[in-house]
Amino acid sequence: MRWRICAAAWLLCGTSMSPVLADEGAADTSHLRVLAASCAACHGTNGNSVGGTPVLAGLMPAYFVAQMQAFRSGKRDSTVMHHHAQGLTEAEIALLADYFSRQPRVTMHAPVPESN
Amino acid sequence: MQRREFLKLMSAAVAAGMLPVTARAGQARGRVVIVGGGYAGATAAKYLRLWGGEKLEIILIEERRNFISCPLSNLVLGGSKKIDELTFSRNGLDHYGIQRMEYTVAGINPDDRTVFLTRARTSYGAPFGYDRLIVAPGIDFVWDKYPLLLDAVGRPSDPRSAADQSTFPGVPIQSASTPRGVLEQQLPHAWKAGEQTVNLRRQLEAMADGGTFVMTVPKMPYRCPPGPYERASQVAFYFSKHKPKSKVIVLDENPDIVSKKALFLRAWEELYPGMVDYRPNNVVTEIREYSGRSGFLVKTEFEDLSADVLNVIPPQCAGVVTHPFAQDLRNGRWYDVDFLTYESKVAPNVHIIGDAVSSALPKSAHMASSQAKVAAAAIVALLSDQPPDPQPVFANTCYSFVSDKLAMHVANVYRYDTQKKIMLPAEGGGVSDHASEQEGDYARWWAKNIWSDVLT
């Protein structure tokens, strides 16, 4: 499944595709890591949210893609996510789906303020 | 397609020179020194370790012991947050093997790749070498745009006018370091969260009902585009609960509300009717302290205003941590960088990230952390003899609170434009339909998640 999605992403993108890592698979590129990491402000490091937003780590790729497509089309209501889903290409969504599916689920905590 | 075929395709593409091969984690070697431990610098330190592996030496230099979040700090003015709730140590970064040093950077020499450190005016031994330097200095203030502020607090900007304090000397202050101290006590900018924020809150608390809060907004670009309007909303929130006869006057140097305009106007009209008086194109020309009573006389090109509490948000420039080296780096007020690596346009091996960067990108915490990640990935690649990503893509989400519970956002994906060589917003970005409690929840969780991402 994972590889089919990667391959699909690759084919969708054609020659405009950004960098791809040869020996560890497309999903481990520096490009993809940075893109995925920019989701962390709301969804936590490597998709391990501390709360309030869905944990993306370990999600089934097909589920991730379906949700993002639903945000894009407006089929799923959202406050913020349609702005991100519409800004990403289908290839990027497929790559992100694969990336997050491979991240282990880890319990993350918000740091404790100095007042506590 | 099978995995084997896929890899074959990839290998062929690489062999044909179509695709750069990026670095494998764990291969990067060398010493990266990071100056500044805010959203940008702390993120860079952590992600250098996550992506660069164990062999990289990572040193984070930050003179302030605690990290205090600017995001949510306007809520301290509204009264729904305490500054302590936004104050964190950086101990959570220690387990990544990041060496933290509480020092001030006295200078940088890019020719021999060294930084000079001081603490309590004592220099730290020998200059400190690096392979790559990251400078994440945040913002500083351009005080010379506000010579009158100095006059207002009884510090003559020009000795010739010292004999007659009743007239404005009209001489610009050239030094950026003169007005600290007295000025910051009486007229807190509160644009770096901390003691200044608490000071402004105390002044609001001390103000009598029926008083007037006047605030100024500098010309773009400045840190946090919607921040001043969020601040006006938070002060109005506090007044509406405790001092309902009071007023908020916003003197904006810009021709219009810079960010989330319709959302702020609607919030002010619905939540605080008649309380927020927004005035575009208003440049302050003079500020004077009243004698015999508290508060300030504020003159604009159009009129004189009386402020019981005055908050001047000064014009801003890149943080000056690296004087005199900074003078070479700076293009006007901000640092010019290559958006693939955030390497300085004038100083090789020096990378600059966050609010200090010259760009059309909003100067937000999320943006700072995204730039940090691009720079970290690029440095890992460069220290592994690999090319950096030729087309970075990242997202930005920025929330603003208009009360204790209601918030709204602006969100965009940004993609590197290979022709223009800058980051451009992708289609599909935008703002909330309206401020809501749901987005207020998201905004609070945004903060907890980004704090976790940056500091743990």
Spatial CA neighbour of B404 closest among B129, B82, B54: B82
Q: Is residue A70 part of a domain?
A: yes
Q: Of all helices (H) and strands (E), which one includes residue B433?
A: none
Tokens of A66: 């379906």
- How large is the ipTM? 0.84
Number of independent structural domains in chain A: 1
Chain B 73-102, residues with CB within 8 Å of chain A CB atoms: 82, 84-89, 92
The answer to whether B379 and B134 are in contact (CB under 8 A) is yes
Q: Considering the domain boundaries, does residue A91 fall inside one?
A: yes
Provide the residue type at B179 as one letter.
P
Report the candidate in B321, B206, B204, B264 with the shortest Cα–Cα distance to residue B435.
B264
Instruction: Give the gap in angstroms from C-alpha B354 to the nearest C-alpha of chain A.
Output: 14
Q: Which domains does chain B have, with CATH numbers?
A: 24-64+102-138+319-388 (3.50.50.60), 143-316 (3.50.50.60)
Question: What is the rounded CA–CA span in Å between residue B146 and residue B116?
Answer: 32
Whether residue B442 and residue A52 make contact (CB cut-off 8 A), yes or no, is: yes
A107 domain residue, yes or no: no
Question: Mean pLDDT throughout B75-86?
Answer: 98
Tell whether A114 is covered by a domain.
no
Is A115 within a domain?
no
pLDDT class of A11 with cuts at 50, 70, 90: very low
Q: Does A21 touch chain B (CB under 8 A)?
A: yes
Residue B211 backbone phi and psi in degrees, to 5: -80, 175
- Confidence bin at B327 (pLDDT 50/70/90): low
Q: Touching check for A70 and chain B: CB below 8 Å?
A: no
Instruction: Check: CB of residue B403 under 8 Å from CB of residue B377.
Output: no
Test B448 with A42 for CB contact under 8 angstroms: no
| Domain assignment of residue A39, yes or no | yes
Contact B448 A25 (CB under 8 A): no
The mean pLDDT of B409-429, rounded to a whole number, is: 96
* DSSP at B343: B
Q: Say if A66 is an interface residue toward chain B (CB within 8 Å).
A: no
| pTM for the model | 0.86
Question: Between residues 394 and 423 of chain B, which touch chain A (CB distance below 8 Å)?
Answer: 394-397, 409, 411-413
Q: Most B CBs within 10 Å: which of A77, A109, A114, as the mutation test of the B interface? A: A114
Distance from CA of B451 to the nearest CA of A (A): 6
Say which CATH number the domain at A28 has: 1.10.760.10
% chain B with pLDDT above 90: 68
Q: Is the pLDDT score of B169 beyond 60?
A: no
Structural domain includes residue A56:
yes
Q: Cα B311 to the chain's mean position, in Å?
A: 18
Amino acid at B138: G
Residue B331 has pLDDT above 90, yes or no: no
What residues of B are in contact with residue A108 (Cβ under 8 Å)? 452, 456
Query: Is it the case that residue B155 has pLDDT exceeding 90?
Result: no
| pLDDT tens digits for range A20-32 | 444 444 335 889 9
Does residue A106 belong to any structural domain of this protein? no
Residue ranges making up the domain that contains A77: 2-101
The pLDDT of residue B182: 58
Q: Give the span between the Cα atoms of A7 and A95, in whole angstroms.
A: 9
Cα(B67)–Cα(A114) distance, integer angstroms: 10
Contact (CB<8Å) B428/A83: yes
Taking CB atoms and an 8 Å limit, are A22 and B21 in contact across chains?
Answer: yes
